[in-house]
Structure 1
Amino acid sequence: MSALPNSLAKYASDLAVVTGTNRAASTVEFVVQLGRASYILGTVAGIKGGDALDEAANFIAASGDVSRGEGEVLMERALGHLSRLPQMVAEYRALV
């Protein structure tokens, strides 16, 4: 289980709010929470962009299975999808 990189750690508190769990401490936990948050935000709460979290989770998971250069590209794509997460969480907080 790999430690959570700083680039992802800044989103861990937001994911914990949505999923009702502790902050992710590893990349694996983060990916699991992204999947859950995607369902909660997109399907349950109807917040636009929730499906992008599934894509981010896929990119993060795949980044460990490729070369370092390819992994960095996948992480950048994931971070692009995560950039709207704070706004989605703000919308979610307004609903609950």
Structure 2
Amino acid sequence: MPLDPAFISRYADDIAFVAEEQPATNAEDFISQLQHAGYVLDTYAGITGAEDLDTAATYLSDALDSTGDEHRLLVDRAAKYLAGASDMVEEYRLMV
């Protein structure tokens, strides 16, 4: 089942900044950017919680292959891991 475009757009600009790409407009690109952003924030910036982006990407990837309640549950879990994303990106912005 596809991801809601509003869900992607909520995080796309921040994640794209870290990934140094244009904001994702589809689930596959967004998931890829999440994984890359998590790597950058962890490896190069040492930002606490960066691994949450990779965890969110895993849940979203699984959500693409699910439907109904399971899909909603996986997206909700991903959203919990993305809750601190804007703070992490803001910290990163201050570093670069």
Question: With structure 2 as the length reference, what TM-score do the two structures score?
Answer: 0.93
**Match of residue 84 from structure 2:** 84
For structure 1, list consecutive stretches of 5 or more residues without a partner in the other structure.
none
* Deviation, structure 1 residue 90: 0.6
- What amino acid maps onto 1:13 in structure 2? D
Task: Determine if contact 2:56/2:77 at 8 Å carries over to the other structure.
Answer: yes
User: Which of 2-11 and 12-21 deviates more?
Assistant: 2-11
Offset of 1:44 from its aligned partner?
1.2
Give, as a single letter, the amino acid of the residue that structure 2 aligns with 1:89.
Answer: V
User: Given residue 38 of structure 2, which amino acid in structure 1 is its aligned partner?
Assistant: S
| Matches of 1:60 and 1:8, distance apart in 2 | 10
| Equivalent position amino acid for 2:92 in 1 | Y
Distance in 1 between residues matched to 2:24 and 2:64, nearest whole Å: 17
How much is the aligned-residue C-alpha RMSD, in angstroms?
Answer: 1.3
- Structure 1 stretches of 4+ with a deviation exceeding 6 A read none
Tell me the percent identity.
Answer: 36
